[in-house]
Copies of this chain bind each other. A is one copy, B any other.
């Protein structure tokens, strides 16, 4: 969790107030926020933080492998602080919220040799789609 801060410092990441706030926003909540939502929450604590800095910081966290970028179709990318544990995503088709889920079994087992076309497989991502409880009760 907040050894995220430790880890970053340990990697020689220069710690500024804006970077700390961004990291804290991500670590503090297990939802998957858009860049703009991260900016909004960060700005509650540090009103002068700019969107550009949030974007830059998120981009760095992603390339450091500390945060995952989740691109749900079309809409804004969301950022997943849970990069250390393998998991899949359950996405609401209506409002776009994302939950982490842990399916049983390895998706790679479902791809027969004859369907691998000579690829060296590294992994698989599964996106489950449906309506969240709120949107199920209140469809578009």
Number of copies: 2
The interface residues of chain B lying within 8 Å CB-to-CB of A69 are: 73-74
A48 within 8 Å of B by Cβ?
Answer: no
A64 to B: closest C-beta gap in Å? 17
Which range holds the interface residue count of chain A? 35 or more
* CB neighbors of B among A104-122 (8 A): 104-105, 107-108, 110-112, 115-122
| A122 and B93 within 8 A (CB) | yes
Q: A-side interface residues toward B, CB under 8 Å?
A: 69, 71-74, 77, 90, 92-93, 99, 101-105, 107-108, 110-112, 115-133, 136
Once the chains are docked, how many angstroms separate the CA of A117 from the CA of B130? 11
The interface residues of chain B lying within 8 Å CB-to-CB of A103 are: 107, 110-112, 115
